[in-house]
């Protein structure tokens, strides 16, 4: 098993090699002494910036890696206390939303200590998500994927309005205190109401989605150091909203509704009603976001961008690893260049790893290579 120093050595050697910096030997000596003395070491600001960007570059399940060098890093490793953490989160949302011209941003809070304690933990899987409410008849108002977390928020005293698009609060837990709930001020959440360029009836569906996707429950690993609170964002791909969030049968399930409005017979599969409704829904997403001035990319452009990323990496002498099932968008399949690529799904570090739900007791070790359990704590 690699020790913490071994992991630090590999990371720092890569950092010095790619950036052309001198002083690797002296830096490794200092890190070795720091680990011997304290059981851990501290990344310099430049090491942290390099690490989070390479973690994006190594993210096997992300199609948007062409822009990995553009990631803005907000170093909040000195921030403690839930109120201060929430202030940093609010700053992240404002900086990243940027009036609709989305910036890729990551905010890095204190790392996990050698004793395994996480000074900061954000309970939300994404900073912005809509609540889900189970009705007496079994139907769900809102997002079915958020039923459990909505229940967690309600148990802590939060009460939504019961609409299909109630923005959930953020739950922050800091060392030495219980979880605290913070409603998001409306000014922090930019939303886009969906309309269609040629179907006037579409607006009456009342569909909306938020502008900014911010992953907030993954563990950032850099050179053996784990950062359990490091929310990060890019921008949406059209199909993430249209084909998945609003289109999936176990999410907002809008395809039958749209197909009926199109006058299609849902009993007749030969008319491809799901496919035709899917096209209309994704047309509406792209049209509405572009009309609102919100950064978004469609699946065709995203595929082309990933192919450019692959060429860039090949020129740099690096192999591109990827999870094919995640890289290929949920529409157009073989019409996209990425569909015809074969990838090794090797997990490289630095990287972002899944964490167990903060409100659940961790009982078992995940065998998923993309889970934080696959990372073993380094030894002195």
The DSSP symbol for 215 reads E
Separation of alpha carbons 356 and 368, rounded Å: 12
The DSSP symbol for 205 reads G
Supply the residues annotated as catalytic. 62, 65, 235, 240
Give the start-end residues of each E strand in 129-264.
132-134, 140-142, 170-174, 180-182, 191-193, 208-210, 214-215, 219-222, 225-227, 232-233, 236-237
How far is the CA of 264 from the CAs of 133, 273, 283, 366, in angstroms?
A: 30, 6, 18, 44
Closest CA to 181 of 75, 74, 89, 112: 89
369 within 8 A of 352, measured Cβ to Cβ: no
Closest CA to 66 of 307, 279, 353: 307
φ and ψ at residue 210, rounded to 5 degrees: -85, 155
Separation of alpha carbons 367 and 347, rounded Å: 13
Strand partners, 237: 297
Closest CA to 171 of 195, 155, 187: 155
């Amino acid at each position: 098993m690699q020790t913490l120093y071994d992991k630090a050595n590999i990371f720092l050697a890569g950092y010095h090699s790619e950036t052309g910096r001198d002083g690797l030997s002296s830096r490794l000596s200092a890190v070795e002494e720091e680990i011997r003395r304290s059981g851990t070491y501290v990344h310099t600001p430049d090491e942290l910036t390099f690490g989070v960007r390479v973690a994006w570059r190594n993210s096997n399940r992300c199609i948007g890696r062409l822009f990995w060098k553009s990631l803005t890093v907000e170093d909040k490793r000195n921030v403690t206390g839930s109120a201060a953490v929430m202030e940093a989160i609010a700053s992240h949302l404002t900086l990243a939303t940027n009036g609709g011209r989305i910036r890729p941003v990551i905010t890095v809070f204190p790392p996990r200590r050698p004793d395994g304690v996480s000074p900061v933990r954000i309970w939300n899987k994404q900073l912005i998500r809509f609540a889900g409410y189970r009705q007496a008849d079994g139907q769900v108002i809102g997002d079915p994927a958020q039923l459990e977390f909505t229940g967690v928020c309600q148990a802590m005293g939060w009460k939504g309005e019961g609409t299909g698009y109630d923005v959930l609060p953020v739950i922050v837990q800091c060392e030495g205190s219980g979880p605290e709930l913070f409603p998001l001020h409306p000014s922090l959440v930019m939303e886009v109401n969906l309309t269609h360029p040629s179907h006037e009836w579409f607006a009456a569906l009342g569909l909306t989605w938020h502008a900014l996707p911010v992953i907030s429950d993954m563990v950032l690993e850099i050179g053996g150091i784990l950062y359990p609170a490091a929310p990060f964002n890019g921008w949406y791909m059209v199909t993430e909203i249209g084909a998945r969030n609003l289109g999936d049968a176990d999410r907002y399930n809008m395809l039958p509704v749209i197909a009926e409005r199109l006058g299609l017979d849902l009993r007749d599969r030969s008319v491809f009603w799901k496919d035709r409704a899917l096209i209309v829904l994704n047309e509406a997403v792209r049209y509405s976001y572009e009309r609102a001035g919100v950064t978004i990319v469609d699946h065709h452009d995203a595929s082309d961008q990933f192919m450019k990323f692959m060429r860039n990496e090949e020129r740099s002498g690096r192999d591109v690893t990827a999870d094919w099932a995640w890289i290929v968008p949920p529409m157009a399949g073989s019409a996209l260049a990425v569909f015809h690529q074969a990838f090794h799904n090797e997990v490289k570090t630095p990287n972002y790893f899944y964490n167990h739900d903060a409100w659940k007791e961790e009982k078992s070790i995940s065998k998923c290579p993309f889970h934080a359990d696959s990372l073993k704590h380094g030894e002195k």
